[in-house]
Chains A and B, each alone.
Chain A
Amino acid sequence: MDDFYRELILDHYKNPRFRGTLDPHSFTYEDENPLCGDKLRIDVRLDDTGHVVESAFTGRGCAISQASASLLMEKIQGASLDELRALNKDDVLELLGIDLTPARLKCALLSLKVLKAGAYGLSGESNPDE
């Protein structure tokens, strides 16, 4: 557990960065994991060149889902829309730095799913992950 709940994850869970909502925002998206009841909303504001100037999340869930959202918000500061769309599962797992059992993978990837759905929704393109 000492790896599963390593310092970084617990720290992001207990002291989430970028928690909240943004008004105005360029896009917002919300989704849930009905199986575990985890809920997540992500708001993102882009500048004129399509780069992230600010992002924030709200929601409830386990340490893994909340820490991964917090870590992801940190990672995407300054990223371009294309970079957001190119994010994948391995990026999130790398941020968390732990091996996840299949049961917990869904928790870890909720934030990625929400972010990408929002990023694709912005231009009306379909999200190839769906």
Chain B
Amino acid sequence: MTHSLATCRSDFPILAREAHPGVPLTFLDSGASSQKPESVIRAMDDYYRLHHANVHRGIHVLAEEATALYEGSRDSVQRFINAATRKEIIYTRNATEAINLVAYSWARANLKAGDRIVLTEMEHHANLVPWHILAGQIGVELDFVPVTDDGLLDLDAYARLLTREPKLVAFTHMSNVLGTINPVESLAAQAHAAGAKVLVDGAQSVPHLPVDVQTLGADFLAFSAHKMCGPTGIGVLWARQELLEAMPVFMGGGDMIRKVTLAGFKPNDLPYKFEAGTPAIAEGVGLGAAVDYLTGLGMEAVAAHERELITYALERLEEIPGVRVYGPPAERKGGVAAFTLEGVHPHDIAQVLDRDGVAVRAGHHCAQPLHERFDLAATARASFYLYNTRDDVDRLVVSLYRVKKLFA
């Protein structure tokens, strides 16, 4: 394993495969899910080969080893986002479940009909639908911060929505379509001044930027392991301990209880209070290895690498006649370029690129309202991660010229 961005590509076995016989793979779909380094794959493999047993209550060597590995990953995650205590790291299935946990537990206990929640037009469906469900069930009202033509949140409109005294403000740290990096600290400070709690969807930021919950300003932060070099099946909800202590339990079952009688139960301490049933143990171990891997590279370095790549990518894409990239300029965004090519449907773009081994995503990227905002049915999206290079951008551009020629 390397600890250098320059050579980290070789840590990812899948990147050595061909997309089709004789055609190298150019993977530009990490925004949907990242690839996994050898260290993560090996940690999970070793876990199953050598250490697996159910965690927490076992009094035998495997149970103790499994518990130590699984709980050790929680310590890694705690350090990674600089949480005050490991009790604040709640494991979920993914970012989506983390947001739902807040909607089901915190929101149902603290909000009532007529209370307002501020969201934005650039949210992923994961940070829209749980609130739609809540609105349908308990009658909260949803407000949406508009997105400007250059893909930024309309801050004047945000300030106006805050005067309506929302109880919760929930927004993405980084848009998975526009790449926009939102100014979380100032948005959160304004929200707090207005008396609202702040939920930050970190699904796209935690994998790509240094995130420190002590300075971020969020009350809740949700993210998924699979977008940050870790496995599918595990995600994280971080929240301050006092908040989590005050929240009612979410799902019931084993592990989340201290004591059960026929008459009822007493919930377990944090973080277990919110983790019902046998957890995703191997996935926890994998997440720990992913976080250690990212820590080894340094998140500052990862962010700088992606900034450089997106700057180059925007330059190259914008020189192709007919290509339009959505979102702010490179200084305000992460490694995501959603674009259209005049006269060619994004599905056709993706299909032709695939023949050249270039993997991009085409569709609405689970952000239909945002696409509607820009009057688009779909976009093609290239998203970059720490293992991508300028060569990947060049191959994308060459292949896009082939699309143009085919459809000319």
Chain A: residues with CB nearer than 8 A to chain B?
Answer: 1, 4-5, 10, 13-14, 35-39, 60-64, 104, 107
CB A2 to nearest CB in B, in angstroms, measures: 9
Check A36–B378 contact: CB distance below 8 A: yes
Of chain A, the residue at the smallest CB distance from B349 is A62
A10 and B362 CA atoms in complex are apart in Å by 19
Check A1–B347 contact: CB distance below 8 A: no
A104 and B364 CA atoms in complex are apart in Å by 16
Q: List 20 A-B contacts (CB under 8 A).
A: A1-B355, A1-B406, A4-B355, A5-B348, A5-B351, A5-B352, A5-B406, A13-B407, A14-B407, A35-B364, A36-B363, A36-B377, A37-B377, A38-B377, A61-B345, A61-B377, A63-B344, A63-B407, A64-B347, A104-B347
Instruction: Give the interface SS of chain A, mostly helix, strand, loop or mixed.
Output: mixed
A60 and B351 CA atoms in complex are apart in Å by 17
CB B342 to nearest CB in A, in angstroms, measures: 13
Check B347–A10 contact: CB distance below 8 A: no
A4 and B348 CA atoms in complex are apart in Å by 10
Of chain A, the residue at the smallest CB distance from B347 is A62
Q: Which residues on A sit within 8 Å (CB–CB) of B362?
A: 36
Check B371–A37 contact: CB distance below 8 A: yes
Of chain A, the residue at the smallest CB distance from B364 is A37
A104 and B406 CA atoms in complex are apart in Å by 19
Q: Which residues on A sit within 8 Å (CB–CB) of B378?
A: 36-37
Which of B348, B364, B371, B376 sits near A63, CB closer than 8 Å? B348
Which of A10, A36, A61 sits near B406, CB closer than 8 Å? A10
Interface residues on B, range: 10 to 19
A13 and B351 CA atoms in complex are apart in Å by 15
Known: A5-B406, A61-B345, A63-B345. A104 touches B351 (CB 8 A): yes
CB B199 to nearest CB in A, in angstroms, measures: 27
Of chain B, the residue at the smallest CB distance from A5 is B406
A60 and B340 CA atoms in complex are apart in Å by 14
Known: A36-B377, A60-B377, A64-B347. A10 touches B407 (CB 8 A): yes
A37 and B348 CA atoms in complex are apart in Å by 13
Q: Which residues on B sit within 8 Å (CB–CB) of A61?
A: 345, 377
Name the 10 nearest CB pairs between A and B, nearest first: A37-B377, A62-B345, A62-B347, A1-B355, A63-B348, A62-B348, A37-B378, A1-B352, A5-B406, A36-B378
CB A87 to nearest CB in B, in angstroms, measures: 23
A10 and B376 CA atoms in complex are apart in Å by 22
Please encode chain B, from 351 to 368, with 1 for each CB lying within 8 Å of some chain A CB and 0 for all others. 110010000001110000
Known: A36-B363, A37-B377, A60-B377. A107 touches B407 (CB 8 A): no
A61 and B355 CA atoms in complex are apart in Å by 20
A21 and B259 CA atoms in complex are apart in Å by 69
Q: Which residues on A sit within 8 Å (CB–CB) of B355?
A: 1, 4
Check A35–B352 contact: CB distance below 8 A: no
